[in-house]
Structure 1
Amino acid sequence: MSSMLDILLISIVLLDFMLLASSRITMYIRIVALQGGILGLIPFCVHHQEFSIYEIIFCTVTIIIKGFVLPYLLTKAQKSADVRREIEPLLGYPISMFAGIIFLVISFKLSSKIDIPKLPVTELLITVSLTTIFNGLFIIVTRVKALTQVMGYLVLENGIYIFGMAFLKKQSILVELGILLDLFVAVFVMGIIIFHISREFDHIDTDQLVSLKD
């Protein structure tokens, strides 16, 4: 199962770089959806030797929420806000790609220094999780569209999710499901906020919103 896990993790990193290089909101949503579907398969690869009905339910719920429900809500928010592209990010796309490479190198360095006893997976899991966390934070900070920043938040959460897979035990399933529920509610609320912002101000650029005065 380690080879399958490595393929899934490498796919996550490639999707991270696709996010950094893309300006189309629809592409963002599709990549986040695909990433969510892949994340639902990772627990099976990590803990396949002691997989139970609880893990099956957890993986299924993860795929449904991250791969279908959240992308659906994001698509609805996109149509309501009528936004198609991230036109003017604070940092350009070539610089974003270069930053992604830097994040990957830093993650490799950090993962080799993290001493976790009885780690059930390879260091690649930690490397990919840290890279995804860094990329999520980078998207949140450097993109100006509120909807894109929401997806940066999702990417950040995906990285935290991957990191948690190294420590997943049966008793933590309910905690993980609770996190998924919180994520679902957060994105739902952010979608509503984005809709109202776009209806009132005809744009969802956060750099313009901060300059508003009473």
Structure 2
Amino acid sequence: MEAMNQLSNLCLLLVILLNFFTLGSARLGACIRAVALQGGLLALLPLLAHGLNAHTLLLAAGALGLKGLLIPWLLLRAIREVRIRKEVEPLIGFVPTLVLGALFTAGAFIFADSLPLVPAHHQGLFVPTSLATLFAGFLLLMSRRKAITQVLGYLILENGIFIFGTLLSEALPLMVEAGVLLDLLVGVFVMGIVINQINREFSTLNTERLSALKE
């Protein structure tokens, strides 16, 4: 059990490092691959937290298939089709974004330490990593101009929800967990349609240009 806890904490630390990488990188391909790797790490968490059984295997397989393989493949295909490689200058610079990410992460650990958690969860990294990942997703959504980068922010935000849900996966019905993954998949497909339509109509994915549509 101790070895499992150490492995899960290692995975969660890597998730936090990938948050920082995504916040500080301008290369869309590298950011998509980082989010894919984050999805692969998250797929291990149910197995490490609750052991091997049909429930955790199905949840891990679903997370790996969607978060680690299918959705990153769709996004990589999208950036090839629209021929973009880098994020334009963000609304908040990369260095300030990293500083805010570090502050949010530190605040997540401080806040999680004050929560009345059960002893088994109080010493773990699930809750602070979940909060830090949520904040990183919100920050990416708010600070980037490219629609694809904002989709990545949405994915990271959902990863934070998934981490927190992993603690409750034995209590939650499987249909609820499958519904979360389905909502994620549908959301990405909708964003893919929006991205394609924006690029077709305006020949750009810079969401700031949409302000020109105001009357």
TM class by shorter-chain length?
Answer: over 0.9
1:80 and 1:195 in contact (8 A); partners too? no
Q: In the alignment, what sits opposite 1:163?
A: 164
2:141 and 2:149 in contact (8 A); partners too? yes
Q: In the alignment, what sits opposite 1:99?
A: 100
| Percent identical residues | 38
- The question of 1:11 aligning with 2:14 is answered yes
Distance in 2 between residues matched to 1:163 and 1:185, nearest whole Å? 21
Which sections of structure 1, spanning at least 5 residues, go unmatched?
none
- How far the C-alpha of 1:54 sits from its partner, in A, is 1.9
- How far the C-alpha of 1:135 sits from its partner, in A, is 0.5
Task: State the AA in 2 paired with 1:14.
Answer: L
Q: In the alignment, what sits opposite 1:190?
A: 191
- The question of 1:139 aligning with 2:155 is answered no
Task: State the AA in 1 paired with 2:103.
Answer: I
Q: In the alignment, what sits opposite 2:66?
A: 65
1:104 and 1:131 in contact (8 A); partners too? yes
Task: State the AA in 2 paired with 1:59.
Answer: A
Q: In the alignment, what sits opposite 1:172?
A: 173
Q: Give the number of aligned pairs.
A: 212
Distance in 2 between residues matched to 1:17 and 1:200, nearest whole Å? 33
| Structure 1 residues 54-133: aligned runs within 5 Å | 54-117=55-118, 119-120=120-121, 122-133=123-134
| Greater RCO structure (CA 8 Å; 6+ sep) | 1
Runs of 4+ deviating beyond 4 Å: 118-121
Which sections of structure 2, spanning at least 5 residues, go unmatched?
none
TM-score between both structures, scaled by the size of structure 2: 0.93
- 1:131-190 deviation per Cα after TM superposition (whole angstroms, max 9, x unaligned): 100000000000011110010000000011101112221542221111101111110121
Q: In the alignment, what sits opposite 2:28?
A: 25
Distance in 2 between residues matched to 1:213 and 1:115, nearest whole Å? 47
